[in-house]
């Protein structure tokens, strides 16, 4: 059984694009990254998986269950952390956390207390008084306190300071080690690079790449940095060519031997050819 499996999942909003033929497979216990800029279709995909919106065509199964017909069973096993958490005005943090547990028909008071302590969350405050980051912490507690089998995290670290981000990923790592599948959507690429086993990149509603995080970086493109004079005119496969502080940098996806020959013909004081990081790969996919 797959944790998430979509086949040609499509959601249209009238004439506006949502997602088109999204086919994804996430294994159980996996930590899967979902990368794309704002408006690419990440949230639409997540909202379809959670049954907030309904697919126009295609199918999606979460933990082996159909997202349309078995939504409740899916939600009982899934914890969701939204990118922007909104709660009932005038309610205290402890009441929101208790309400969330009650909706799951579970007593999660022990887990909730532990999470609140680790995230340094004051449960006596009203949600209206909380900063964006503290509201995020409330949402984290609500999503994790029932120890769900699947965690769907949408832009999870927004508003959290670096120390809290570290603690948050520690908590997620513990849940993952206990067997929880983690599906995280983000445009903060180091988060994906450092934590995920595999990732998919979505662009304009379509999946354009899905592979191991290492393999996504290993797409024949190299990051080249040079200092000195060399004529690269007419060389095919150069992207993101920029010069800063006398160092010229670009991504190269052409024949590496042709590049080396051209570099050798110039007068260079320094050369480095490395694998690009995910940020640069991401830009590569998006150009």
Stretch that binds another protein, among 47-55, 195-203, 229-237, 271-279 (CB under 8 A): 47-55
Nearest to another protein of 50, 199 (CB atom):
50
Give residues 62-81 in contact with another protein (rule: CB under 8 A). 71-73, 75-76, 78, 80
Q: How far apart are CA 117 and CA 13, in angstroms?
A: 42
Decide if residue 103 touches another protein (CB under 8 A).
yes
> Where do the DSSP E strands lie in the chain?
4-13, 16-26, 31-35, 57-62, 65-66, 78-81, 150-154, 181-186, 198-203, 206-212, 222-229, 238-244, 247-252, 267-274
Please give the Cα distance from 43 to 38 (Å, whole number).
9
Three-state DSSP class for 140?
helix
Task: CB nearer to another protein: give 70 or 219.
Answer: 70
According to the binding rule CB under 8 A, does residue 128 interact with another protein? no
Contact call for residue 53 and another protein (CB under 8 A):
yes
User: Which range of residues in 34-42, 96-104, 226-234, 269-277 is near another protein by CB under 8 A?
Assistant: 96-104
What sign does the CA torsion over 202, 204, 205, 206 have?
negative
**Identity of the residue, 78 or 176, whose beta carbon is nearer to another protein in the bound complex:** 78
Tokens describing residue 203: 């662009």
Q: Is 87 in the site for another protein (CB under 8 A)?
A: yes
DSSP one-letter code for 219: S
- Using the minimum distance from each CB to another protein, give the nearer residue, 56 or 253: 56
| Beta carbon nearer to another protein, 59 or 76 | 76
Query: Binder to another protein among 8, 37, 39, 52 (CB under 8 A)?
Result: 52
Instruction: Select 80 or 183, whichever has its Cβ closest to another protein.
Output: 80
DSSP 39: T
Parallel, antiparallel or unpaired: strands 206-212 and 65-66: unpaired
Positions in 141-160 near another protein (CB under 8 A): 142
Residue 103 C-beta: closest distance to another protein, Å: 4
Q: Are 97 and 125 in contact (CB under 8 A)?
A: no
Q: Residue 92: phi, psi to the nearest 5?
A: -85, 155
Q: Does 104 bind another protein (CB under 8 A)?
A: yes
- The residue ranges that bind another protein (CB under 8 A) are 47, 50-54, 71-73, 75-76, 78, 80, 82, 84-89, 99-100, 102-105, 139, 142
């Amino acid at each position: 059984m797959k944790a998430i499996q979509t086949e040609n999942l499509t959601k249209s909003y009238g004439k506006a694009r949502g997602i088109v033929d999204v086919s994804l497979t996430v294994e159980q216990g996996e930590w899967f990254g979902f990368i794309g800029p704002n408006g690419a279709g990440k949230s639409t995909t997540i909202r379809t998986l959670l049954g907030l919106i309904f697919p126009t065509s295609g199918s999606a199964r979460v933990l082996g269950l159909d997202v349309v017909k078995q939504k409740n069973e899916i939600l009982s096993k899934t914890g969701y952390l939204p990118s922007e958490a909104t709660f009932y005005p005038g309610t205290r943090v402890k009441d929101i956390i208790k309400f969330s547990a009650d909706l799951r028909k579970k007593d999660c008071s022990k887990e909730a207390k532990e999470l609140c302590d680790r995230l340094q969350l004051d449960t006596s405050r009203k949600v209206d008084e909380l900063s964006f980051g503290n509201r995020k912490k409330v949402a984290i507690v609500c999503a994790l306190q029932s120890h769900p089998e699947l965690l769907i995290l949408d832009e999870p670290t927004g508003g959290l300071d670096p120390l809290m981000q570290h603690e948050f990923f520690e908590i997620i790592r513990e849940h993952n080690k206990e067997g929880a599948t983690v599906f995280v959507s983000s445009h903060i690429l180091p988060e994906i690079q450092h934590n995920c086993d595999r990732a998919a990149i979505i662009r304009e509603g379509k999946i354009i790449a899905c592979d191991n995080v290492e393999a996504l970086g290993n797409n024949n493109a190299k990051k080249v940095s040079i200092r000195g004079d060399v004529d690269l005119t007419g060389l095919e496969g150069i992207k993101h060519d920029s010069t800063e502080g006398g160092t010229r940098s670009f991504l190269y996806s052409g024949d590496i031997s042709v590049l080396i020959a051209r570099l050798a013909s110039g007068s260079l004081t320094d050369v480095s050819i490395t694998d690009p990081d995910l940020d640069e790969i991401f830009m590569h996919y998006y150009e």
